[in-house]
Each structure stands twice: as C-alpha cells, then as structure tokens.
C-alpha cells in the first residue's frame, strides 16, 4: 500500500443470493484527495460505501483506514476513527431544529461516544452552538437554523446532513449522491463548500450521478459496472475513455 493511501479497499467481494454486487474490488484513496465513484444504477456503488462504514460485511476482502482494519467493526466504531458518511436518503432528526441536529453530533464528538440521542438535554454551551451556527452558515442554512428539520425541502435536508458530518471534523468523508434533489444554485453552493473542505486537507469519496459535480470536484474517478471496476483515472482520462462512454456516459458526454 502506498504511503499516501488513507483508505485501502482490497479484494472485496459481496454477493446477495445469486447477485454479485461487488467483485474483487481494489481501490486506494489518497490522503487529501477527492475520489469519485461513478456508474449506472445497480453497479454496486452504495454497497461499497456500506462495506466501508460497517453496515455490510463483505464475503471476502478487507477495508483499511489510516492503518486500522475496518472490516468487522461496527458503524459507530468506524465513526470514532474519523469516518463520516452522507447517506443517499438524508438521516436527520425531523422533529428537532437544524441547530439541534448539528449540535448532537458535535456533542457526541466531544464526549467521545458517537451514540446520537435526540432526547438528551442539550446544554447551553457557546462553543458547540457557535460551531453549529458556523457550519450551517457555510452551507447556506443559517437563516433556517431554528426551523424544524422535517419541514425542509429534500435538497436542504441533504445539506443539513452534510453539516452534521462536517461538525464532526472527520478525516474521511463519504458522500452518497450529496447533491441529489438540489436546485442548480444549491448544487453549485455545495460544490464550493466541498472545494473549501478539500483545501483543509479532508479526504473525500463521492458517489454522484451529476457529471458536473464529479468533474468539478474529483481528482480521480473509478467507474463501476455490474459490481466491478472497469476504468480508473483522472477526469480527463475518464471523459475520453470509450469503454466508460459506452457503459455510462452514453458516448456523447463532453
């Protein structure tokens, strides 16, 4: 494994019944880089992220993060190591305000438990509250911080979940369709936020169908099709790859 590799996925297989969801996946994610994983629906992208965060156990292979083997660990243990994930369907506390949603993981990070309890008493601690305000402002949600999270649009809920991850200061951020359901303006704002995160040295893995997002952010792209990696390279290399154009980009993407 290269010294600059922070996430190493080695020989990972996963079968559901007779379906090979992942077949001999080998990926190395470099520290501080943004690595996009693209592919058609059903290619195995979300399954791969689920393996990385401990929601699915692979049939074979290992995932190693920052020298620590993740395979076999529970999701909260992996989170403690500095891995955070934005899910395809936003996982928020709809009955709480945006501010409270962001403060919960901030308290959990500080306490070292990472066991989110929406019913715990949130003490009036200015540092945690101030950090929540700052993260929400960065994502354009500051004017809604006292609104119930359940009343927001789908796009805003996705930005809220991103805020809940960022307040944990993860070393590795896994994003599953982070801009799905967003307007173009909100998508562009999210792109700029993720670019700022990159400047701070945070490593990111992004699953995304919007090629504008992928080509705006990715340093490297891996292409999945039918559970296997069919191509890997820089955005320019992927753009010009005939196999990728046929399998995913339709042969006409520029």
Instruction: Please tell me whether residues 15 and 43 are part of one structural domain.
Output: yes
Instruction: Please tell me whether residues 87 and 205 are part of one structural domain.
Output: no
pTM (predicted TM-score)? 0.85
* Position with higher pLDDT, 227 vs 122: 227
CATH of residue 156: 3.40.50.300
Instruction: Please tell me whether residues 178 and 249 are part of one structural domain.
Output: yes
Find out whether 90 and 161 touch, Cβ atoms under 8 Å: yes
User: What pLDDT, on a 0 to 100 scale, did the predictor assign at position 86?
Assistant: 86
Range of the domain at 136: 83-169
Instruction: Please tell me whether residues 145 and 207 are part of one structural domain.
Output: no
Instruction: Please tell me whether residues 208 and 247 are part of one structural domain.
Output: yes
For the chain, the domain total comes to 2
Cα(33)–Cα(202) distance, rounded to whole angstroms? 7
Instruction: Please tell me whether residues 10 and 57 are part of one structural domain.
Output: yes
Instruction: Please tell me whether residues 41 and 10 are part of one structural domain.
Output: yes
Q: CA angle, 199 as apex, 10 and 46 as ends, to 5°? A: 35
Q: Is pLDDT at 252 greater than 50 in this prediction?
A: no
Instruction: Please tell me whether residues 38 and 11 are part of one structural domain.
Output: yes
- With 0-12 CB in 10 A as exposed, 13-18 as middle and 19+ as buried, what is 143? exposed
Q: Is pLDDT at 124 greater than 50 in this prediction?
A: no
User: What pLDDT, on a 0 to 100 scale, did the predictor assign at position 89?
Assistant: 74
User: What pLDDT, on a 0 to 100 scale, did the predictor assign at position 227?
Assistant: 93
Q: For residue 180, what are the contacts with CB-CB under 8 A and spacing of at least 6?
A: 88, 154, 158, 209
Instruction: Please tell me whether residues 5 and 49 are part of one structural domain.
Output: yes
Instruction: Please tell me whether residues 53 and 88 are part of one structural domain.
Output: no
Mean pLDDT of 1-30: 91
Q: For residue 240, what are the contacts with CB-CB under 8 A and spacing of at least 6?
A: none
């Amino acid at each position: 494994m290269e010294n600059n590799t922070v996430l190493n996925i080695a020989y990972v297989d996963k079968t559901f019944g007779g379906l090979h969801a992942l077949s001999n996946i080998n990926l190395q994610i470099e520290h501080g880089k943004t690595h996009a994983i693209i592919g058609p629906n059903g290619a195995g992208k979300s399954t791969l992220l689920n393996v990385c965060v401990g929601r699915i156990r692979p049939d074979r292979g290992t995932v190693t993060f920052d020298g620590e083997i993740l395979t076999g660990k529970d999701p909260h243990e992996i989170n403690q190591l500095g891995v955070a994930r934005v899910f395809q369907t936003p996982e928020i506390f709809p009955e709480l305000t945006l501010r409270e949603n962001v403060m919960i993981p901030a308290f959990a990070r500080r306490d070292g438990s990472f066991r989110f309890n929406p019913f715990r008493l949130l003490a009036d601690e200015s540092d945690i509250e101030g950090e929540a305000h700052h993260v929400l402002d960065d994502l354009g949600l500051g004017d809604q911080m006292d609104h119930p999270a359940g009343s927001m649009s789908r796009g805003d809920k996705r930005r809220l979940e991103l805020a809940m991850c960022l307040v944990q200061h993860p070393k590795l951020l896994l994003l599953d369709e982070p801009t799905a359901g967003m307007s173009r303006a909100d998508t562009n704002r999210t792109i700029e936020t993720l670019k700022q995160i990159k400047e701070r040295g945070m490593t990111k893995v992004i699953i995304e169908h919007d090629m504008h997002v992928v080509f705006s952010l990715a340093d490297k792209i891996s292409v999945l099709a039918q559970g296997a990696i069919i191509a890997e390279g820089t955005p320019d290399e992927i753009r010009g790859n005939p196999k990728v154009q046929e399998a995913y980009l339709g042969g006409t993407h520029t």
